[in-house]
A and B are shown apart, each in its own frame.
Chain A
Amino acid sequence: MTQWLETSLGLIVLAVVVPTLAAVFAYAFLFKAMAHMQQRLGPMEAGPHGSLQLVAEAIKWVQKEDLFPRRADRLVFGLAPIVAIVTAFSMCALIPVSNAVVGAAPSMGLFLFAALSGVSSLAIVMAGWGSNSKFSVLGGLRAAAQLLAYEIPLVLALLGVVVLAGSANLVSIVGAQSSSLWFVFPQIVGFTIFMIAAQAELTQAPFDVPVAESELVAGYMTEYSGFRFLMFFIAELATAAALSGLAVTCFLGGWNIPFVELTGTLGAVVGPLVFFVKLMIVGFLIFWIRFSFPRVREDQLHKLAWKVLVPLGLANVAITACLKVWM
């Protein structure tokens, strides 16, 4: 009985926290940070300083007609955004926010995370294929190739962390960093690979080839509108939050502050705040790069993944393992 209660409570918290987090990301980075970098104000009307803009947008999208393109594969087309949002939310659930606030902590949490991010590419292929649109197909295929290619360096970068921490459980990875140096320092190569691969996993500039709006209109999202588009939008931002959260957990010490012991009630209160601050910093980094760079070409993208990041990631794992054994 208690397990059911806990699970349903957790689900409710997740259903509230993740969209809120997505909204915060959208507002802080997509609307405001981008606007200020581009010498604009961004949204100013909805709510104080435009902070409720996403709520207004969401209401607008929900009101729209649920459109299916003619001769689209209705089942696949309709399911794709649901697959996307479910995987994004599950990824968020795996991130431990503090000692006390842990959604789910399976012993192979890191690899469950990687597997889930693999499922999210399925959603994109479904959307691309189901739409019965040429732009969507091209976008979906590009996305499939890209997400598969960058999944490998992403996992390789995380392997270094697993070697150092001696566990794939995200809570123990954070625990391993509370007493020692944050893993970003010994794993600086891994961190760099992770951030590049995360950028590609999010299909954001400079790796936004699948949604390149000057080439493919909106790639796999071309035919989506209304609340299905909203679901993709939230899923994208929630994935961004989840990947930033993973970066914080694996490389930046999670809820720890250097030289300060956070235990008990203090840890339960301050821990999530520390985590949130770090999350926003990493998130800003991701979006900062997005707003600054032009997009690479499809072949250059794969060259980078297969010829640079994968060998580098393998070497990183090997060297980390050797050092771990010898020291």
Chain B
Amino acid sequence: MKAGYDERRAADYMNSQLVDGRVNLELVDDDGMVLNLGPQHPATHGTLRIVVKLDGERVVWAEPVCGYMHRGYEKLAEVRTYPQVNTLLNRIDWLGSFCNEVPFIQAVEQLLEVEAPERAQWIRTVLFELGRIANLMVFLGDMGMQLGAITPPFLAFRDREHVLDLIESATGGRFHPYYNRVGGIKEDLPKGWIADVLATMPRVRRFCDEMEEMLANNEIFRSRTRGVGVIRKDLALSYGMSGANARASGIDWDLRRDTPSPMAWKHAKFNVAVSADADSFARYWVRLVEVRESTSIIEQLLTNLPAGPIQAKVRKIIKVPPGATYVETENPLGQMGYYVVSNDGLSPYRVKIRTPSFNNISVLPAVLPGENVSDLITIISSLYFILGDVDK
């Protein structure tokens, strides 16, 4: 026993930590080393804490501890009017923020029994896909960063800037568009915007080619990701993984294609990338293909964009009749859903937000044991979570 080791204080400390879930194993036994990756660690882009127990470099046990960035959006939503709630939602998945607004607005529209006009739905879809590109481009570069290649993220942010410019010129906000309104969108597209988008999409595809050349075809990258962090289909299903992570595990499930939605995806032809490899490389590859498909969706939709009004008739003060509904969409990170309960008031009675990242990282304790520290980082970054999306 160490000098100055106060048993009672240690026990008190342990009890205080128990709430946090088995974190201070160090005091309990001595085999292995407990390493806190985070809450401030370069690889967790945000404040996720992953407690790992290491035997040398090998992970014996791992557990993600989240909640360091909990902002209480579900509760905040209950004291705001429906249009005000919309401003909060931009900040959940902050890289593809437009996509967060859509399912909530659709839920409200369902409760109100209004439908946004055709043109508004198409524009929503185009911006949704732009949001997806803006989000996944960061992943495509950042995955290289996590594996030690320092140049890809700079290229990613360089080209992502063009996409953000487009989002800004249409909505007025780079990160927080707040562009959806109940029953439509804020305003029509600016002049010349469509041509700008069509000119930018080849740039995005060129970026994808660049990333394929620099990372996906790189021998070191392949050897670091192939067969690393294999998440089998049944494991992915049992943890409720969704989005590209699920598709990389061989689950052919894309809400854009598989569920009826008022959005315009049904008017575009696109492939859903699915991989049976279920490893980190598959997760990278699926997202790479997804960005390419998104550019093609945008091009198809913009060339046939219908004319017409962009806003349905909705009362100025939005009062939603009692009822409950759940709407989910295929967001860049996976399935994002809002369960909205209305109590015949100006603000929702309850909003439950189903964020994809939370489920996607829940799988970590099942995947990490047995891997070494380097692979741990590969797996975390290939699962691709955003802290705002985990903690809400």
Whether the Cβ atoms of B149 and A209 lie closer than 8 Å is no
Q: Which residues of B sit under 8 angstroms from A134, Cβ to Cβ?
A: 33, 35
Closest to A205 in B: B148
Q: Which residues of A sit under 8 angstroms from B158, Cβ to Cβ?
A: 39
Instruction: Give the CA-CA distance A39 to B207 in the complex, in Å.
Output: 14
Whether the Cβ atoms of B155 and A296 lie closer than 8 Å is no
A197-227 interface (Cβ within 8 A of B):
205-206, 208-209, 212-217
Q: Which residues of B sit under 8 angstroms from A208, Cβ to Cβ?
A: 148
Q: Which residues of A sit under 8 angstroms from B146, Cβ to Cβ?
A: 214
Residue B301 is within 8 A (CB to CB) of chain A in the complex: no
Instruction: Give the CA-CA distance A40 to B161 in the complex, in Å.
Output: 14
Across the A-B interface, give the 4 residue pairs with the lowest CB-CB distance, nearest first. A295-B148, A38-B154, A294-B147, A294-B149
- Select one of A37, A215, A216, A295 contacting B220, CB under 8 A: A295
- Select one of B147, B151, B381 contacting A292, CB under 8 A: B151
Instruction: Give the CA-CA distance A293 to B149 in the complex, in Å.
Output: 5
A257-313 interface (Cβ within 8 A of B):
291-300
Residue B24 is within 8 A (CB to CB) of chain A in the complex: no
Sample of 10 A–B contacts (CB below 8 Å): A37-B151, A39-B158, A134-B35, A208-B148, A214-B145, A291-B151, A294-B148, A294-B220, A295-B147, A296-B220
- Select one of B57, B145, B147, B215 contacting A298, CB under 8 A: B57
Whether the Cβ atoms of B377 and A293 lie closer than 8 Å is no
Stretch of B90-98, B185-193, B368-376 lying at the A interface? B368-376
Instruction: Give the CA-CA distance A215 to B57 in the complex, in Å.
Output: 11
Instruction: Give the CA-CA distance A298 to B214 in the complex, in Å.
Output: 21
Whether the Cβ atoms of A297 and B218 lie closer than 8 Å is no
Q: Which residues of B sit under 8 angstroms from A298, Cβ to Cβ?
A: 57, 372, 374
Residue B348 is within 8 A (CB to CB) of chain A in the complex: no
Residue A138 is within 8 A (CB to CB) of chain B in the complex: yes
Whether the Cβ atoms of B215 and A212 lie closer than 8 Å is no
Q: Which residues of A sit under 8 angstroms from B376, Cβ to Cβ?
A: 215
Closest to A209 in B: B374
Closest to A216 in B: B373
Whether the Cβ atoms of B144 and A294 lie closer than 8 Å is yes
B118-152 interface (Cβ within 8 A of A):
144-151
Chain A, 15-45, contact with B by CB distance < 8 Å: what is the 0/1 string? 0000000000000000000100111100000
Instruction: Give the CA-CA distance A276 to B185 in the complex, in Å.
Output: 63
Whether the Cβ atoms of B373 and A138 lie closer than 8 Å is yes
Smallest beta-carbon distance A292→chain B, Å: 7
Whether the Cβ atoms of B221 and A294 lie closer than 8 Å is yes
Whether the Cβ atoms of B150 and A205 lie closer than 8 Å is yes
Given A39-B155, A138-B57, A297 and B375 contact (CB-CB distance below 8 Å): yes
Q: Is the interface of B mostly helix, strand, loop or mixed?
A: helix
Give the interface of A toward B (CB within 8 A).
34, 37-40, 134-135, 138, 205-206, 208-209, 212-217, 291-300
Residue B22 is within 8 A (CB to CB) of chain A in the complex: no
Closest to A40 in B: B154
Whether the Cβ atoms of A214 and B149 lie closer than 8 Å is no
Closest to B146 in A: A214
Instruction: Give the CA-CA distance A135 to B377 in the complex, in Å.
Output: 14
Whether the Cβ atoms of B218 and A293 lie closer than 8 Å is yes
Instruction: Give the CA-CA distance A312 to B221 in the complex, in Å.
Output: 24
Q: Which residues of B sit under 8 angstroms from A215, Cβ to Cβ?
A: 43, 373-374, 376-377
Instruction: Give the CA-CA distance A265 to B214 in the complex, in Å.
Output: 48
Q: Which residues of B sit under 8 angstroms from A206, Cβ to Cβ?
A: 148, 220
Chain B, 31-69, contact with A by CB distance < 8 Å: what is the 0/1 string? 001010000011100000000000001000000000000
Smallest beta-carbon distance B380→chain A, Å: 9
Residue B223 is within 8 A (CB to CB) of chain A in the complex: yes
B210-250 interface (Cβ within 8 A of A):
214-215, 218, 220-221, 223-224
Smallest beta-carbon distance A303→chain B, Å: 10
Chain B, 265-306, contact with A by CB distance < 8 Å: what is the 0/1 string? 000000000000000000000000000000000000000000
Instruction: Give the CA-CA distance A38 to B373 in the complex, in Å.
Output: 28
Q: Which residues of A sit under 8 angstroms from B145, Cβ to Cβ?
A: 214
Q: Which residues of A sit under 8 angstroms from B147, Cβ to Cβ?
A: 214, 294-295
Closest to A218 in B: B42
Q: Which residues of A sit under 8 angstroms from B149, Cβ to Cβ?
A: 205, 292-295
Closest to B159 in A: A39
Residue from A40, A135, A206, A294 whose CB has the most chain B CB atoms within 10 Å: A294
- Select one of A214, A296, A297 contacting B42, CB under 8 A: A214
Q: Which residues of B sit under 8 angstroms from A212, Cβ to Cβ?
A: 148, 374, 377
Instruction: Give the CA-CA distance A217 to B144 in the complex, in Å.
Output: 16
Instruction: Give the CA-CA distance A297 to B260 in the complex, in Å.
Output: 45
Instruction: Give the CA-CA distance A197 to B35 in the complex, in Å.
Output: 31
Q: Which residues of B sit under 8 angstroms from A217, Cβ to Cβ?
A: 41-42
Residue from B57, B148, B155, B224 whose CB has the most chain A CB atoms within 10 Å: B148
Closest to A211 in B: B148
Smallest beta-carbon distance B287→chain A, Å: 17
Q: Which residues of A sit under 8 angstroms from B41, Cβ to Cβ?
A: 217
Whether the Cβ atoms of B148 and A214 lie closer than 8 Å is yes
Smallest beta-carbon distance A26→chain B, Å: 16
Instruction: Give the CA-CA distance A208 to B150 in the complex, in Å.
Output: 12
Instruction: Give the CA-CA distance A216 to B148 in the complex, in Å.
Output: 12
Q: Which residues of B sit under 8 angstroms from A293, Cβ to Cβ?
A: 148-149, 218, 220
Residue from B41, B374, B375, B381 whose CB has the most chain A CB atoms within 10 Å: B374
- Select one of A138, A209, A296 contacting B223, CB under 8 A: A296
Instruction: Give the CA-CA distance A138 to B52 in the complex, in Å.
Output: 14
Given A206-B148, A291-B150, A297 and B224 contact (CB-CB distance below 8 Å): yes
Smallest beta-carbon distance B375→chain A, Å: 7
Closest to B153 in A: A38
Whether the Cβ atoms of A213 and B57 lie closer than 8 Å is no
Closest to B154 in A: A38
